[in-house]
Amino acid sequence: MVTIDPKAAPSAHHFTVVIDGVETAVHEGVLRCGGGGTVAVVAPGVLEVTRLRHVVVRGGGGGGDVRFSRCGYAAAEGCAAASFRRCGAVRADGARGVAVRRCRSADVERAGAVAIRRCAGAARVRGAGELRVGRCREADVAGCARAAVARCRAARADWCGALALGRVGSADVARCGAVRIDRCRGASVSGCGAVAVRRGKVSVVEALNPVSPPPVDQQA
């Protein structure tokens, strides 16, 4: 059941919120859902979502910021910025900025700046301007202009520009530009440009015709 409290801040921006398959347009007030979950406009163009089992927020043409906290499955589509804290599986598509902290898993596509920390499962990123992943079980990244992965059990990277790996258990890197590796127990690098290894066991295979990483569609 959803009830609306109109006393919260109004916003000129309209969000589309899908809660357990039910779609609602939100531009002001607070939606109170069963189980103590809420969807609230806390400032013009800023939406906060807490304690929902399954929720999708659509920003509508790249506008609006959304913050998720303690949700089960949470997704942001077409928002300017999206942040997730202590959620289950999270997904963001088309945001200029994405921040994920202490979630079970993360799936990010077509983003600008991305920061993911302490995912119990996998952090998957496809297309980002600048990416930082730390303390996740697994990092799977591709099509990023600049990426840094640290303190993960396993990492996989493909078609990135500049890539830095630090304190990673195992890594598989292919078709990246400049690669820097520090303290990796085992890494395989193939078809990349410059490779610098500070410490670790690294196997490097040079391609006869190195492939340049593709241009990244960064959000403005």
Indicate whether 156 belongs to any domain: no
Does a structural domain hold residue 193? no
> What would the pLDDT profile of 174-215 be if each residue is shown by its tens digit?
999 999 999 999 999 999 999 999 988 899 887 655 555 555
Whole-number percent of the chain with pLDDT over 90: 75
Q: Is residue 191 part of a domain?
A: no
Residue 212 pLDDT: 56
Q: Is residue 209 part of a domain?
A: no
Tokens matching residue 69: 């906290």
Instruction: Please write the tens of the pLDDT for every residue from 73-112.
Output: 999 999 999 999 999 999 999 999 999 999 999 999 999 9
pLDDT of 3 strictly over 90: no
Question: What confidence score (pLDDT) does residue 213 get?
Answer: 56
Check whether 216 has a pLDDT greater than 80: no
Mean pLDDT, rounded, for 149-176: 97
* Mean pLDDT, the chain, whole residue set: 89
Give the pLDDT band of residue 138 (cuts 50, 70, 90): very high
Residue 161 domain-assigned (yes or no):
no
Residue 6 has pLDDT above 60, yes or no: no
Q: What was the pLDDT predicted at 206?
A: 74
- pLDDT at residue number 217: 52
State the pLDDT confidence band at 165, using cuts at 50, 70 and 90: very high
Domain that holds residue 131: 2-149
pLDDT at 200: 83
Q: Which two tokens stand for residue 174?
A: 């292919």
Classify residue 78: in a domain, yes or no.
yes
Burial string for 131-148 (b: 16+ CB within 10 Å, else e) reads bbbbbbbbbbbbbbbbbb
Residue with tokens 């804290």: 85
Residue 186 · residue 201 · CB < 8 Å? yes
Q: Flag whether 12 is in a domain.
A: yes
Domain-located, residue 162: no
User: In residues, how long is the chain?
Assistant: 220
The whole-number average pLDDT for the span 122-150 is: 98
- The Cα-based distances of 154 to 42, 77, 138, 149 in angstroms read 38, 28, 5, 10
Identify the burial level of 26 via C-beta atoms within 10 angstroms of its C-beta, where 0-12 means exposed, 13-18 middle and 19 or more buried.
buried
pLDDT confidence tier of residue 15, bands split at 50, 70 and 90: very high
Question: What is the predicted pLDDT for the residue at 28?
Answer: 86
CA distance 165 to 83: 24
Give the chain's domain count: 1
pLDDT (0 to 100) of residue 4: 47
pTM: 0.88
Task: Judge whether 38 and 31 are in contact, CB under 8 Å.
Answer: yes
Q: What is the mean pLDDT of residues 164-172?
A: 96
The reported pLDDT for the residue numbered 188 is: 95
